[in-house]
A and B are shown apart, each in its own frame.
Chain A
Amino acid sequence: DQQVKQNSPSLSVQEGRISILNCDYTNSMFDYFLWYKKYPAEGPTFLISISSIKDKNEDGRFTVFLNKSAKHLSLHIVPSQPGDSAVYFCAASVTQGGSEKLVFGKGTKLTVNP
């Protein structure tokens, strides 16, 4: 049962345009959502996060939007740059029985074309 879904395996955008990466989840108990960026043969790096009590968080070119009623979040990158080309993982955090669990989606490969 996949609790965090990234339905688009890949996305291609032009440099300077907006990139929108989507993520859907099924567990309404998730209380934090995080985005990680991963280059090939490297470990993921943290990008941005949002608490479930908020609907938007912004950090420079990166903005994450959360729609709790739709169980959907999205990552917006504006403007997109070639260096943004990477795999982006959505992750959701839930605390159960006093223990935190982080569930990852399968990732979306973003390609930003010059």
Chain B
Amino acid sequence: DGGITQSPKYLFRKEGQNVTLSCEQNLNHDAMYWYRQDPGQGLRLIYYSQIVNDFQKGDIAEGYSVSREKKESFPLTVTSAQKNPTAFYLCASSIARLAGARRNFGPGTRLTVL
């Protein structure tokens, strides 16, 4: 059963700590993405990757970092430099970054900074 897994579902972090959110996909998709959702807001793109060992900043990349060492995995690190890290984080993938390519989304990780 193909899909995207994100772990953990809920994550709590103390202010000033870095934290890494996991994202794994078994859909054999080339492109992967990280989005952030805040209450009453749409999804905003943090980072994306179209191929292994390559990734690009999205609209709100400041305070975040990613890696893409394997096709299946695209972890996101929320650093202490991110001013408002409390949010719902969504990982997604698509066959490629082409016009109209639908994104498959994971179940999300809710990060709360205490």
Docked CA distance A73–B98 (Å): 21
A64 in the interface, Cβ–Cβ < 8 Å? no
Take A100-B97, A106-B42 as given contacts and tell me if A34 and B102 are in contact as well, using a CB distance cutoff of 8 Å. Answer: yes
B99 close to A100 (CB less than 8 A): yes
* Total B residues in contact with A, Cβ cutoff 8 Å: 26
A100/B98 in contact, CB under 8 A: yes
- Across-interface contacts of A4 in B (CB, < 8 A): 42
Look across to chain B and name the residue whose beta carbon is closest to the beta carbon of A30: B99
Do A102 and B103 touch across chains, with their CB atoms under 8 A apart?
yes
Q: Which of A32, A44, A93, A103 interacts with B90 by CB under 8 Å?
A: A44
Are the CB atoms of A41 and B100 closer together than 8 Å? no
A102 contacts across to B, CB distance below 8 A: 45, 103
- Measured CA separation A106–B105 after assembly (Å): 17
Q: Is B107 an interface residue (CB 8 A)?
A: yes
A51 within 8 A of B: yes
Where the two chains meet, the residues of A that have a C-beta atom closer than 8 Å to any C-beta of B are: 4, 9, 31-32, 34, 36, 41-46, 49, 51, 89, 93-95, 99-107
